[in-house]
Amino acid sequence: MPTLTTTPRQDGFRMPAEFEPHTGCWMLWPQRSDNWRSGAKPAQQAFTKVAITISQFEPVTVGVCPEQYQNARQKLPASIRVVEILADDAWMRDVGPTFVINDNGDVRGVDWGFNAWGGLKGGIYFPWDQDVLVAQKVLEIERVKRYKAPLILEGGSIHVDGQGAAITTEECLLHPNRNPQLFKAQIEQYLKDYLNVETVIWLGQGVYNDETNGHIDNLCCFIRPGEVALTWTDDPHDPQYAISEDAYQRLQAATDARGRRLKIHKLHQPGPLYLTEAESQGIDQVEGSQPRRTGSRLPASYVNFYIANGGVVMPLFDDPHDQAAQTALQALFPDRKVVGLPSREILLGGGNIHCITQQQPSGI
Amino acid sequence: MPTLTTTPRQDGFRMPAEFEPHTGCWMLWPQRSDNWRSGAKPAQQAFTKVAITISQFEPVTVGVCPEQYQNARQKLPASIRVVEILADDAWMRDVGPTFVINDNGDVRGVDWGFNAWGGLKGGIYFPWDQDVLVAQKVLEIERVKRYKAPLILEGGSIHVDGQGAAITTEECLLHPNRNPQLFKAQIEQYLKDYLNVETVIWLGQGVYNDETNGHIDNLCCFIRPGEVALTWTDDPHDPQYAISEDAYQRLQAATDARGRRLKIHKLHQPGPLYLTEAESQGIDQVEGSQPRRTGSRLPASYVNFYIANGGVVMPLFDDPHDQAAQTALQALFPDRKVVGLPSREILLGGGNIHCITQQQPSGI
């Protein structure tokens, strides 16, 4: 499929909000034993549950490395499409394309640069050569034209409201291990060109101890135009407190592309949660891969949910805050069915339900 | 996608003839250096020309192993879809699905068993575990339901007329290295059940020294209902002579499913052609892979062409018979544009243009 030399903005394409209609959802199949414990088998079960749940709302395709093809095809129900895509890990949000649409119902895809969340200066593993190809492979399968964006960016580091505003964090997008040659204004211009937005709302840090360098999708997201959900803690001694408080202040001060003030919904975080010794011991230790140490704080957040057609699939942590978070989310999405899934296993790998999914908008 | 436990015949699906309309054509990308000389680079060029030529008539998708993905994507024009499919070699005719259609325009696929043209008793390479998965991977990408046929069969060993008749060879389908547990009548019944035909026309041997154990697609094919093209030689001292003569006799004696006698068009073979020392030396020698010895007779045949929407793509061999064959084929297909492509490079790998392609019928 052709790679275009223009930008979505030039061609009248924009990234729609996640709550706009989808043709389906893309995921990848976890397998690397230096990130997922016990040979990734518990993670595969957790991903399978996410895929099955989303497939009740919209078609799901799971990309899988060749050596796991047969296993994934057997473990996933027949209603889920399984295609071969070699990847270095399983974060479709970050390595997949960002789909953009125009007013005619056409769909195209943005293929960002990728360096495993920081390359040789703090990245999570080495190499990441197969991750780099995932977005293009998805677009080829779907016969969708491709924009190749000239900057390093993961899909989890941006959110849009579908009405001209994007939200992101300085911690991630201005991190020197991503695009050190670009000033903030240049990065903002690329967001405007490739997402086709007018306004970029900059928060500061992401969730405490988030190895992605503070992806927005673990901290805050649009639930509809003019409204956001923000992970929160009432405990002033928790290092997350100052981060969420700063985000709250910035959100209160912001206006979106249509001049609206934002309505901010706080979702109290679980925990705090920590990696157990048993969990740590199940993970292979490999030079160049992020170590997973016993006792390290896990960046758990209820904001890391996926919005499907008619549904919301949210993480649960077997935590006292679970019920309140699910009740709150259901109130925020009265027209969608909110389904909670135990997702500590996904969290152990460094992300959550939003990080392992990528919506494909329908364009109409 | 679901795997069905019924048969195409039970469900009202039939294999259409190659000259019925297609939605596109599937190919694979050659790379194994123990079958294709010079690191498969000349073969990749030849396959690229075939893909480009067919893409002028109908959409083409090329499946490629992960390590060659970038190279194939660069070498093939953007109009050709490239998807990742790990395979042991590049014979989409033999490892791909046989698509079947019904009267409503629905398309399904038959996934045959595969053992690399003979398994451990004369097969061409070992292992073939990835080839086995190719048909399913194609069907998943296309979201097409799958029949798993309970016998070993390569797509190149069958042809149909779309009106109830199939043609095949005893040499291949009755070879003890394919389905030794099945009698001829059982194999014929499987063909009737999975292709949904009434009549199976059995020829004897395939082309002389054809390592596939005599695939029909190198010997004889339907050009329209009631008419076949047969590879031929006028030289009674050529070992091909008796083979073609026997096929001719059997074809003359046959009637198709509608009771017609067949009109037989002879296509005089090229050569005979032999593997040169330079060609042989470019091929890696690997235990378990078919050796390619200097001086061995190549199974060259003009019958190994591909019928596309509005076109025919036929092999040429830089041979004195080329022109007559192309003129004859053009006369046989007055409504299609016949394009000849130099294809010795494909022949060196053991097949030709028909062997490396697989049509996906449109179903309407």
Q: Which amino acid is at A15?
A: M
Q: Which residue among B66, B73, B141 places its CB closest to the CB of A141? A: B141
Which residue of chain B comes nearest to A130, CA vs CA? B66
Q: Which domain does B29 fall in, by range?
A: 3-361
Q: Which residue among B84, B136, B143 places its CB closest to the CB of A86? A: B84
A143 contacts on B by Cβ (under 8 Å): 81
Classify the complex by whether its ipTM is higher than 0.85, answering yes or no. Answer: yes
3-state secondary structure chain A: CCEECCCHHHHCCECCCCCCCEEEEEEECCCCCCCCCHHHHHHHHHHHHHHHHHHCCCCEEEEECHHHHHHHHHHCCCCCEEEECCCCCCCHHHHCCEEEECCCCCEEEEEEECCCCCCCCCCCCCCCCCHHHHHHHHHHHCCCEEEEEEEECCHHHCEECCCCEEEEEHHHHCCCCCCCCCCHHHHHHHHHHHHCCCEEEEECCCCCCCCCCCCHHHCEEEEECCEEEEEECCCCCCHHHHHHHHHHHHHHHCECCCCCECEEEEEECCCCEECCHHHHHCCCCCCCCCCCCCCCEECCCCCCCEEECCEEEEEECCCCCHHHHHHHHHHHCCCCEEEEEECHHHHHCCCCCCCCCEEEECCC
B148 contacts on A by Cβ (under 8 Å): none
Spatial CA neighbour of B195 closest among B147, B138, B135 = B147
As for how many domains chain A has, the answer is: 1
Domain CATH number, residue A198: 3.75.10.10
Spatial CA neighbour of A108 closest among A16, A185, A230 = A16
Q: Which residue among B2, B69, B137 places its CB closest to the CB of A133? A: B69
Q: How far is B103 from chain A (nearest CA, A)?
A: 24
Q: What is the pLDDT along chain B (364 residues), one digit of tens a residue?
A: 899 999 999 999 999 999 999 999 999 999 999 999 999 999 999 999 999 999 999 999 999 999 999 999 999 999 999 999 999 999 999 999 999 999 999 999 999 999 999 999 999 999 999 999 999 999 999 999 999 999 999 999 999 999 999 999 999 999 999 999 999 999 999 999 999 999 999 999 999 999 999 999 999 999 999 999 999 999 999 999 999 999 999 999 999 999 999 999 999 999 999 999 999 999 999 988 888 899 999 999 999 999 999 999 999 999 999 999 999 999 999 999 999 999 999 999 999 999 999 999 997 7
Q: Dihedral through CA B341, CA B346, CA B351, CA B353, nearest 10? A: -30
Which residue of chain B comes nearest to A70, CA vs CA? B133
* Residues A2-31 pLDDT 10s: 999 999 999 999 999 999 999 999 999 999
Instruction: Among A140, A143, A144, A146, pick the best mutation site for testing chain B contact (most B Cβ within 10 A).
Output: A140
Q: How far is A87 from chain B (nearest CA, A)?
A: 10
CB-based contact A207:A234 (threshold 8 Å): no
Contact A141 B73 (CB under 8 A): no
3-class SS of residue B21: coil
